[in-house]
Structure 1
């Protein structure tokens, strides 16, 4: 059964809303692009982090394990596409929802 965080991130993808949350004790501002499960069966999301705190430079792609996410809120704002797509993503192995395939191609 999907977690509450999973449901909110999924809604954010469908409605192209930004997500503000805490991940590994750091505030993050993200635009989620792909959600599902990783090879271990954990709920994960591939998101473009454009603001907040990070151990590296921002903006950048993030693979978030949703069990480590808290205080999830959706907000309206500019949708951030992220950087180049030169390599195939390896974050989500069992894709439930991909904004580029399931959402935007319907329009």
Structure 2
């Protein structure tokens, strides 16, 4: 059985969508970066569906970026689907210090 880290990492490599629960909200997200921050496994996601504690998900909003600790995710699955990213992905991210894998947007 694959770990949550492996599911998210594989989704980045294959540009797949992640569906997962985080902080009691089911979220549909596209993972962009995975690795470690201060020794903790984390990933940077662009959330495009589901719910969030920060309010409604506005399509194509630059505010849909989520930095999430891997250990906080549950009920994680991946699937093929339309890839979503923010228009501001070119700015430097601070979610992950030690990058294991970053999505290829080419």
Q: Secondary structure at the match of 2:8?
A: helix
Distance 1:70 1:47 in 2: 15
Whether 2:36 is the aligned partner of 1:32: answer: no
CA RMSD, aligned part only? 1.7
State the Cα deviation string for residues 39-86 of structure 1 (Å, max 9, x = none).
x21100001000111122425000010111011111111001223136
Q: Secondary structure at the match of 1:79?
A: coil
TM-score by length of 1: 0.84
- TM-score normalised by structure 2 residue count: 0.85
Q: Which has the higher helix share?
A: 1
Find out whether 1:63 has 2:67 as its counterpart. Answer: yes
Matches within 5 A, 1:10-25: 10-25=9-24
Residue pair 2:25, 2:53 contacting (<8 A) in 1 also: no
Q: Where in structure 2 are there 5+ consecutive unaligned residues? A: 59-63
TM-fit CA distance, 1:24? 1.3
Deviating above 4 A after TM superposition, structure 1's stretches of 4 or more consecutive aligned residues are none
